[in-house]
Structures are given as structure tokens and as C-alpha cells.
Structure 1
Amino acid sequence: MADARNIINHRKPSRFPTRRQVLAGTFGFGALAALARIGSGTSFAEETTATDTTVTTTATTNATAATGTLPIPDLLTATDDGGVSVFALETQAGTNTTLISGKTITTAGFNSTFLGPTIQVTDGQAVRFDITNTLDDETTVHWHGLHIAPSEDGGPQNIIEAGGTWSPATTINQGEACTLWYHPHGLGTTAEQVSLGLAGMLIVDDGSAANAALPTAYGADDIPLIMQSTSVSSAGSFAATNAAFTASGATLKFLVNGMSATDETPTLSVAYSRVRLRLLNASLTDSITVALSDGGAFTQVASDAALLPEPLSITSLRISPGERAEIVLEPSGTVTLRATVRNTTNGTRYTVSMLEVSSTGTDTPDALPDTLNTITDLDTTDATTRTFTLSNSGASMLINGIAATTMDIMDANAIMTTLDAVEKWTITNASTNIYHNFHLHDVPFQVVSVAGATPTGANLGWRDTIEVAPGTSVVIKMQFTDYADNEYMYMLHCHNVVHEDDGMMLGLMVMS
């Protein structure tokens, strides 16, 4: 393995600097007007935006932008470099003094000082991400859910030194319309850096008729919702460990696109009769169950990695850390989405009204298609089978008895497979009362069974992250296509990123 991949075999103390910046880059002008109406302490937006000259847009051309108090991250506009779309990102540090009165909280973001812009790409598009790290710490940027070569994946091998720039390039090769995201993935530092706000959404359009039949006007009827269950310590720092969530003097907060729904419910008014909400659970450890406050039904149209085979009428939706889901609402009057937040032992932390949605639309959209996606079942007749046991020994988190906390351990215990191999994995949670989940880099997977039962609902779609309850097993299958590398690895891990930092991760080598 290359020496460059072994420079993060230790945990470094946080050295994020303090830098206050004005509101300009992360949220669109429509959101700026809305944020001017928000009371003190309800949003990061007063203090968390970029000072660079990156050009962004608020809503799709010729669409009527949504209004309300919900901040909507801008779309990041690419520049053209010989037919390659170049997206420029810069990690930035800052502070917030409005989330909790009297406390100055250290934050970080992309092109701002909290969260990042939305990147929207299409299948077949040649892209490059120019990422400059202005933090005092090294970092990485992982494209969660993106089918990409391991050398460009942004795992712990792809370190961006303080002051450095990393420019991974690829041709979007997803084959599906989906909602992905980007965030740091350093060894032992992921929870800390994600907790500070280093996260943004990545949307892929596959050009399909099914995706076009759904709302697709970003910022108008197609809205991202980045949900974060977090906690602020008595000293004014975001929780980056499980214990910090419940420490004496800690204050729980539920953020939606950076706004505190704990203090005031964000509002969203759309000018259309139908709205698509892209849900991302960017929390470190907590699962989130989303439901309408009146118990009514809504429609799920996508899971992590693709549109579902057909629209799914549901009354609640549980999303574990790192998972995404897309839902469609057709509000008559005002409807309220409520979030019930649960900790790693499935105890309820709190319930909060996370968003009020209203529509002024007089349009009459066509009925949703009966079929959204056709998913060909993977044949596992000759598949390689493996078992991965997730467990803990105190605070040490293990996969098959291994706590992968250094690159040497990762290298020595890497899972080896070959290009085009079909595999079938059993993921078992041996922890007695701790919920884990499982995320696979490189390719999505199909669910074979959950706790011995045939999959239903969203588990009939492509996934890349799935919850595994204590004492149960989830069986999945996948095929490793397109990318192989004899030096760089992918990762498989628990996406409770505190567990990931504490060792619940292994490397995966796809060999040519």
C-alpha cells in the first residue's frame, strides 16, 4: 500500500480556527429574505456562509422558488474545463453565537461555515471536484453512494492536508436517479468533522421518464432536507461522542438545513400542488422516524440509491444515520412533518415538529406513474458468501472481532474480491442492545432478507445503507462492477460514525 495512505494512523486534537463570515454563499436569496424573519437562536444562517465568489443558483430556471423560513442550500454552479464540469468546494471554519444564547459554537462547512451547497449532476456527465481545505486539520471528502473508482472515493486514503487541494475526476456512472451526499471520512475524525457541519447533498438525474414525472425544479418543488440530531455541550461544542449527547449541561437540538426546529418549526410554501422532499439523516448516531402530525399517509418514491419499483404509500418512515429517502407530498392547506429521534439503544430522545409545508398551487399534476423503476434481481447461484458480525467490547466497535482504527489494521484485514464478482453477505448485529447500521462503498445492494423475513417496502429498492437491529441479521447481495484497483480500497462500516471512528469499519479491495 502507498505510504500516503498511512498518514492518518492516529487521532489528532481538533485545531479548527475561529472565523466569522457574512451571509452570502450557502443559502439562496429567497432563503435570505426568509431568514431575515427568523428570531434569534433559530438558524445558523446569520453567521455561516462563504466569502468566496462561487456562483450559485436558488431554483431551477422559470420555476417559482419556494418561500418560507426553511433555508434551502443553493445549487453549486460548475465551470467548464474542456467539457468537464468542475465543482469547486472549499472547507471553511467559523463560529455561531445564535444557536444557544451566550455560547460561541465552533462550526465548519463547504463554501460556508455550516453545511454545503447542493451538487446536481446527470448520468454520463464528466465532472471534477476541486476541493481546497482551509481548515487547520487534514480532512477527506467522501461521495456517499456514488459509484466511483476507489482512488476517487474520498475514504481515509484520500487525505487533503491543511491548505491542500484534492481534485478527483470521474464520469457519472450511476445508472439511477438518486439522492446522495458528501462528507468527511477520515480515520478517527469523521464524527468530529461531520458534527461541525461538513455535509452537503449530491443529486443524480438519470434522464429517465420516471424521474421527470416527479417534481424536479430544485428549490421550487424539489427540496432537500438535511436533518441533524445534535447536542451542544455546556462549553459550547457539538457532541462527537455518544456520551456527549447526555452529558450534564448538554442541550439537544434538531436542525433542518441548519435551522433549529427545536426552537421554531421551519416553514415551506410551494407554488405547486406536489412537492418532492429529499430526506437525509446526517446525524452522527440517531435514527429519525418521520411522520405527518395528523397520522396521514404520504408517498415514498426512492430509497438510498434509486427510485423504488413503485410509489409506496406509508404513514411513517424510519431513517438511520447516513440513509436517504425521497417522499412526495400533495398538501391541502398546511401539513406538518414530525420527527421522532431515537438513540443507539432505540430510546426516544425527543419528538419535534420539523417542517410545516403548505401549497398555493392550482396546477393539477398527472397521477404518479404506477412503475418508477425496474430492478433486475441479481442471480447469486455462484455468488461468494460472507458473514460480517457487528459487535462491541465496551466502547470498542468491531467487525468480525476487528477494530480497524489504523491503516495498518485496515490493510491487514481488507476484504478481497474481484471485478464483476457477485456476492451475498449476511450482516449480523451481535450487540445485545445497540442498534448498528451497515454502509457499503462502491455499489448499491439488494436486500435478500431482514431478520429472516422477505423484504418489503423500501427494501425492495436499491440500498447502500441499512439498519441492523440487535440480535438480528440482514442478508444483502451486490455485484462489483466497473472499477478495480490493486492499491486503493473501498470501505464497509457502520454509519453510526461514532461507531465507525471506534473501529467498526473494514477495507474492501476490488482486484482486477
Structure 2
Amino acid sequence: MDNITEPAGSNDTTGDTGTTGRRGKREHSKTSRAKGGKGLHRRKFLGGTVGLGLAAVGAAGTTFTLLSKGGDKASAASSTSTLTIPDLLEGTTSDSTTTFTLEAKTGTSEVVSGVSSTTMGYNQSYLGPTMKWTNGNTVLLNITNSLGEDTTVHFHGAHVPAKMDGGPQVAFADGETWSPTFEVKDEAKTLWYHPHALGTTAKQAVHGLAGMIIVEDSTDTSSALPSDYGVDDIPIILQCLASDSSGDIKYDLSGYLGSGLVYPVLCNGTNVDDTTLTFEATKTRNRFRILNASPSDIITVQRSDGGTMSQIASDQGYLAEPVDVTSVRLVAGARAEVVMDLSDDVTLQAVVTTGWVRGGSGTYDFLTVTASGTDTPDDLPSTLQTIDRYDTSDFTARTITLGQSGATMLINGSAGTSMSSMAMISTTVGSKEIWTIKNNTQLEHSFHLHDVPYQLISINGEDPTGVELGWYDTYEVVGGGSIEIAMEFTDFSDDTYMYMLHCHLLQHEDEGMMASLMVTDS
């Protein structure tokens, strides 16, 4: 398989995703409706029935053809089911420290409807509970590994010491318990947790090791912002996976190129290919925290009626002000928060665009929200937080290149399949930097930075607008494109433990598109 590369067509960002004319640029604040088939569920790809797609020339010069994104659309949902709300994990507080207990374990679950799959989860068979952290508090997590193989737990988007970040340096074996502890320095935002060991991240995450983290602070006290978990503050974990008909979940290149595959879409662990989930909104205003926990596919969320939502947060917390949007486009690993004031029922749709070798593509209904609230909420605040845009004129500049050699993925020319082989970026506490992330392949990639949030300075040569002016930790870098990002390294230094920077298409990460970041004292 080493001579297989991926097609330029796999980074398709047109069609049902509501993008602008500039290549790959998201249109979060677009007011016209993103196109999509109302009431249709996602396309399934059956290995023997899909025609050959475009040929592509990879970075190493190899050429191949790939199955296209055609195929039969499934019919409208044949059933409904109530949305499952992940349990809220209760911590125990003693001496100003709140302790949470997690166990990474194996189990079985229905990923393909009617078929039992071998899965993984935290404290359960699939996915994990939601944790709530409070800014300024200290947390301790006792995490036991019962998987039968090494794992880590990375707190995606959290600003924590490198030794507590859950990167590959702190992998722990089956039967062991890892107990990171730290002060919560993050402001209000939606984070998530998932594995991050070398070479097994995709395998463990697609089998179900993922959960949401809600960070609260004093800004959440506004009565205008819903905050009652499971009542008007709703977690939405979306996944687009790959499986064969027997329920064997695929996670690497050889698995994705197998025959007879289907591409189930899940919401909070429930397959929604043939089922539209329902949620009864007992309050007029509802907040949805949306996480794309897919290994690679891009998911755009929109209303089936073309109506607007108010986006209030991106990856790294509140926007400066609410922004009316008709769609929210999330690359794998990204998050967003939206609120809707509902007087009528509304159905949310997901538009899936394959972001890797091959995968799902299509539009489907995944959640019908039944409006039953009779209260009148306060007006949304006109200002959510102050975001001072960086003046980067005196920032330290770096260029990070995303590349490939056959099926091996590279950052700055190195394949990060081991700690010793990774390219390493060195910086110091207090450093302010601007990085140009260049995608030197024709493949879809993204860029995730551990430790600190970043601002988008440019996207494919154009200035960010609307929600793109918020804070991020994961953002799309289209084939042949580039983004400029700016950040400031604060608080934490270490001369042994490193943070990671990588593509968050998990297969690409496992194939080497990962580098290390050492932050030391000035």
C-alpha cells in the first residue's frame, strides 16, 4: 500500500457545504441557505457499485484512481428515537480539588444499525460521559486503562502543562492508571477528550474513545445563555465512520480501501442513517455544543428549513458577538456553539464531505427539535467577550509545511511516527509568533495546535471575517492552500515533555503528519 496516495478530489469543498468562491474558505456567516436535500439521509458506498473517480498525482509522483463519491441515496428516515444525552460525570471535591474517575474499556455497540460492533468507551461501551470543569478550580483525573493496549487521554483544546496534556510521551499500559492534575486556566468553552498514543489514535477514537468537556466561568452566569445541561444546553457529538457490513469499524488506509463498506453517521452514539433523533425543547432558547468527532470527514450543520442560528462560540470559546449563520462547517476535531430561539419545530441536517481517501458524502436529517417552551428569554448580549486582534508586525515568523511521501505524511519533511523522528519546534514562554501553515499536497488536511489557542490571520491569502475572527485550535488547510495563524505562549514550560502540532485527520496523524513543540523558560 506504500505507493498509494490520495486524490485531489478528496478535498472537495464545494457542493452542499455553503462555501464561498475562494477555494476551501468556510462561509460560517453566510445568510443564504446552503444547498442540501431536505429529508434525505446520507449516501452509502458499496464497494462493487461505485464507479472509478479522478486520478491523482501524489507528492512522490505516484498515480492512482479511486472510487468516486457517487452512489445511491438512502430513503428518508424510517424511524425516530429520542436523542441520548451523555451522562454528566460527577466529580468528588476535597481540599479544593475535584476528582474525576474514568476507565477506558472495550465493549460492544451498534454502529451499523442492527449489527453488533466491537467498540471502546470511557466508563461505558461507546463514547464517554461529559465532564464539567470550572475556571480557576483544580481537577484531578484518575484514568484507568482496561483496553489491552497502550493509550493516552488528550484534553483537546485545553491549556494545561505539557506533562498533563495527554500526548504520546505519557502513554500508559493496560492495567495502569494515569492521574494528571492541573488548575483549569481555560475560560468558558467546549473541549473534548480522546486518545493520543503514537500510531493508534485513529483506531481507538473511531472505536468510541471520545467525550465532551464543558468549561464554565463567570461569563456563563448570564440568564440569556442557556446552561442547564441536557435541558437547554445540549451536547451534539457527530461522527462519520467506515465499517463493513459485519460491523467491523475501519480506521486505516487498508481498511478504507476494502470492499463492501458503508459509512454510518452517528449522533451521540446513535446511528442516524435510518433514524431521525428527536429532542423536546422545554425552553424557548436552546444551546447546541457541536463536536465533529469524525476521524476525517468534514461536517456542515444546517437547518432543513434554511433558517438561521446564532453562533456564539468557536473552538476556543465565545466570539466577540453572536453571529447569525445558516450553516456551521466543522473539520474533524473542531467545535462550535449555536443557539436557537424556537417557536416552531426545527430539523437539523448534516452535510458530510469526505476529507480522506474515501468516505461518506451527502445530506441527512439527524435531529428534530420539538418546540414546547413558553418562556420569553432575555435578549442575547450584544458583546460576548472582547477579542483583541493581534498586531503581528513584531511576531516571530515560522513556516510549517504539510507534505507527503507516498502514503507517509510529513511535517517540515519529517514523519512523526516516533518521538525521535518528529520535527521539533522550540519556543519560549512569552513568545508571540505567526505561523504560515502551507499544504504542499493536494489532499485535505487540518492543523491542530496543542497548548494555546490561535487567531486566524489569513485563509488562502484572504482576511478572516465573521466567526473566523474568533479563537481556534483546529482549522482546515485545503490542498495547495495555506493559513496564517498567530498565538502567544503563556504559563507553561518544560524541558522534557512536549506538546504536539498535527493534522487532525486522524489517519494522517498516525501516518506521520505530527511534530512536537517544546516550550521552555525564557
Structure-2-length-normalised TM-score: 0.82
In 2, the alpha carbon distance for the partners of 1:291 and 1:387 equals: 35
The reply on whether 1:199 has 2:210 as its aligned counterpart is yes
Distance 1:201 1:211 in 2: 22
Q: String of CA shifts for 1:109-161, please: whole Å, max 9, x gaps.
A: 00101000000011001110110111111100000000000000000011121
2:472 to 463, 472, 475: 463
CA deviation string 1:462-508 (max 9, x = no partner): 11111011111100000000000000000000000110000000000
Q: Which runs of 5+ in 2 are unaligned?
A: 1-79
Q: Which residue of 2 aligns with 1:440?
A: 449
Distance 1:318 1:118 in 2: 23
The 5 A counterparts of 1:136-155 are: 136-155=148-167
* CA displacement at 1:96 relative to structure 2: 2.6
**RMSD, aligned CA:** 1.7
Matched residue, 1:304: 315
Contact persistence 1:127–1:169 (CA under 8 A): yes
SS at match of 2:508: helix
From 125, 140, 146, the equivalent of 1:134 is: 146
- Matched residue, 1:422: 432
In 1: Cα distance, 2:329 partner to 2:388 partner: 26
Which residue number in structure 1 is paired with residue 42 of structure 2? none
What letter corresponds to residue 313 of structure 2 in structure 1? A
Q: List per-residue Cα deviations over 1:28-59 (Å, max 9, x = no partner).
A: xxxxxxxxxxxxxxxxxxxxxxxxxxxxxxxx
1:488 partnered with 2:497 = yes
> In the alignment, which residue of structure 1 is the partner of 2:287?
276
Cα pair distance change 1:343/1:211, threshold 3 Å? farther
Q: Deviation string for 1:396-449 (max 9, x for gaps)?
A: 111111111011113xx31100011000000111112x1110000000001111
Check the 8 A contact 1:126/1:171 in 2, yes or no: yes
1:225-265 superposed Cα distances (whole Å, 9 cap, x missing partner) = 00000121244211202553463111211000001111201
CA–CA separation in structure 2 for the residues paired with 1:504 and 1:283: 17
Q: Distance in 1 between matches of 2:368 and 2:477?
A: 31
Alpha-carbon distance between aligned partners in 1 of 2:110 and 2:347, rounded to the nearest angstrom: 28
- Cα deviation code 1:173-212 (max 9, x no counterpart): 01x2100000000110000000110000001012116765
Alignment map for 1:53-452 (pairs within 5 Å): 69-96=82-109, 99-101=112-114, 103-174=115-186, 176-208=187-219, 213-242=224-253, 244-245=255-256, 247-344=258-355, 349-410=361-422, 413-432=423-442, 434-452=443-461
Tell me, yes or no, if the aligned pair for 2:81 and 2:276 is still in contact at 8 Å: no
Q: Which amino acid aligns with 1:71?
A: T
Q: CA deviation at 1:390?
A: 1.0
Distance of 1:91 and 1:361 partners within structure 2 = 38
> How far, CA to CA, are the matches of 1:297 and 1:100 in structure 2?
32
How far apart, CA to CA, are the structure 2 residues paired with 1:142 and 1:224?
A: 19
**Letter of the aligned partner of 2:341 in structure 1?**
E
2:486 maps to a residue whose letter is: K
Aligned to 1:45: none
Q: 3-state SS of the aligned residue for 1:313?
A: strand
Q: Which moved more, 1:437-446 or 1:369-378?
A: 369-378
Q: Take 2:514 and 2:269, find their aligned partners in 1: how far apart are those partners?
A: 28
Aligned 8 A contact 2:240 2:360 in 1:
no
Partner residue, 1:509: 518
- Higher mean displacement: 74-83 or 441-450: 74-83
TM-score, normalization: structure 1? Answer: 0.84
The answer on whether the counterparts of 1:123 and 1:205 sit within 8 Å (CA) in structure 2 is yes
Q: Give me the identity figure in percent.
A: 49
Unaligned runs of 5+ residues in structure 1 are 1-66
Q: Compare relative contact order (CA 8 Å, sep 6+) and give the higher one, 1 or 2.
A: 2
TM-superposed CA distance for 1:300, in Å, is 0.6
Three-state SS of the structure 1 residue aligned to 2:264 is strand
SS at match of 1:136: coil
SS of the aligned residue for 1:381 comes to helix
Q: How many positions carry a matched residue from both structures?
A: 441
